[in-house]
């Protein structure tokens, strides 16, 4: 799969099967759309092009909504799209000016000339152009002029799944990773770099890797303890992870992500970890002393090991 950031880079394509959207999380609803693109590719040839945006359109159109966090970073989204068979991803810079483009110009300059679209697969509720004036009917109206076909994903096909990125974000925000994972079709994950912490964990028998997330827009689950899978160099380990402020030992009130990897004893500072959230175990608590904390961690380890 190839990733582009400028539409001119797609100039060599001649038979594009295209879909458009933010695709945050690449959840089961998104996967259903991509599955249809793959079917069309097998049937009529061509290459699958997914047109997506960065930053998320809501961040540009509604900057006052500063609390919007994303299920997947752009890099994570692209890695998922590759797994599902997409050939090309255009990560287009979403700006205020782009959002004010006239619908006809968008169809002509972006869909037809830029993406070299021959078949466009799009949801019934897709809106585009200045004041969101363009819709599925606008696309159908101009499709023959620009020599591409439009395949509409009907309402019942989308709504029967009852899945949305908003619902998944809410579940993750509430610590309900079980529901989130069911909607995603895979385990919600974060990808980050291991950095040095206070190194207190190793003194009480539970060394932890402190994970730094580079993208400030990445959604972090509700504060608490989770059973997780940790992927390092292609190998998967079980572990337990705490999202929180460590109230028993720390006074800085900063949110930290720390994971204790089971049956693991290597120096991994600077390494990149992928951590999949499997199950919420309990809320973070402040214990009276380190002995109480150690006992709680022992209980957590038993709970997480049996997930």
Could you report the per-residue pLDDT of 47-97, keeping only the tens digit for each? 999 999 999 999 999 888 878 999 999 999 999 999 999 999 999 999 999
Q: 37 with 158, same domain?
A: yes
Q: Indicate whether 147 belongs to any domain.
A: yes
Q: Indicate whether 181 belongs to any domain.
A: no
Regarding pTM above 0.85, the answer is yes
- What per-residue confidence (pLDDT) applies to 114? 95
* CA–CA distance, 269 with 159 (Å, rounded to integer): 45
Q: 12 with 156, same domain?
A: yes
**189: CB partners within 8 A, 6+ apart:** 76, 274, 275, 276, 277
- What per-residue confidence (pLDDT) applies to 158? 65
The per-residue pLDDT of the chain, averaged, comes to 92
Q: Indicate whether 179 belongs to any domain.
A: no
* CA–CA distance, 89 with 49 (Å, rounded to integer): 6
Q: Which domain holds residue 256?
A: 188-305
Q: Indicate whether 180 belongs to any domain.
A: no
Q: Which two tokens stand for residue 186?
A: 């895979």
**156: CB partners within 8 A, 6+ apart:** none
Are the beta carbons of 208 and 186 closer than 8 angstroms?
A: no
Number of domains the chain is built from: 2
SS3 content of the chain, % helix, strand, coil (to 5): 35, 30, 40
In three-state secondary structure terms, 258 is: strand
Q: 94 with 27, same domain?
A: yes
The least confident of 18-27, 212-221, 247-256 is 247-256
Q: 21 with 140, same domain?
A: yes
Q: What is the CATH number of the domain that holds 20?
A: 3.40.50.620
Q: Where residue 195 falls among pLDDT bands split at 50, 70, 90? A: very high
Terminal C-alpha separation, the chain: 34
Tell me the mean pLDDT in the region 268-294.
Answer: 94
Q: Decide if pLDDT at 202 tops 80.
A: no
Phi first, then psi, for residue 212 (nearest 5°) are -105, 125
Q: Decide if pLDDT at 262 tops 90.
A: yes
Q: What is the CATH number of the domain that holds 201?
A: 2.40.30.30
Q: Render pLDDT for 112-160 as a digit per residue (tens, 0 to 9).
A: 999 999 999 998 888 899 988 999 999 999 999 999 999 998 766 766 6
Q: 58 with 145, same domain?
A: yes
Q: 36 with 116, same domain?
A: yes
- What per-residue confidence (pLDDT) applies to 159? 67
> Residue 85 gets which letter from DSSP?
T
């Amino acid at each position: 799969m190839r990733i582009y950031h400028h539409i001119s880079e797609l100039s060599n394509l001649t038979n594009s099967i295209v879909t458009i959207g933010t695709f945050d999380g690449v959840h089961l609803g998104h996967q259903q759309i991509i599955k249809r693109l793959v079917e069309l590719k097998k049937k009529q040839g061509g290459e699958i092009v997914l047109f997506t945006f960065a930053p998320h359109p809501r961040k540009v159109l509604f900057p006052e909504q500063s609390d919007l966090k994303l299920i997947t970073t752009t890099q994570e989204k692209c890695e998922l799209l590759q797994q599902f068979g997409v050939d090309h991803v255009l990560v287009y810079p979403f700006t205020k000016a782009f959002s004010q483009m006239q619908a006809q110009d968008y169809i002509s300059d972006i869909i037809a000339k830029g993406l070299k679209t021959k078949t466009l697969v799009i949801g019934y509720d897709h809106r585009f152009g200045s004041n969101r004036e363009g819709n599925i009917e606008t696309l159908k109206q101009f499709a023959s002029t620009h020599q591409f076909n439009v395949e509409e994903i009907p309402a019942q096909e989308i709504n029967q799944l009852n899945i949305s990125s908003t619902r998944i974000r809410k579940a993750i925000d509430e610590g309900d990773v079980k529901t989130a994972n069911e909607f995603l079709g895979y385990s919600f994950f974060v990808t980050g770099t291991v950095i040095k912490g206070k190194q207190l964990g190793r003194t009480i028998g539970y060394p932890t890797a402190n994970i730094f997330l580079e993208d400030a827009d990445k959604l972090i689950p509700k504060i608490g303890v989770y059973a997780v899978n940790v992927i390092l160099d292609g190998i998967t380990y079980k572990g337990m992870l705490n999202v929180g402020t460590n109230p028993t030992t720390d006074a800085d009130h900063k949110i930290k992500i720390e994971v204790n990897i089971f049956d693991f004893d290597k120096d991994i500072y600077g390494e990149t970890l992928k951590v999949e959230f499997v199950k919420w175990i309990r809320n973070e608590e402040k214990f009276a002393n380190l002995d109480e904390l150690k006992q709680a961690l022992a209980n957590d380890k038993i709970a997480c090991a049996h997930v």
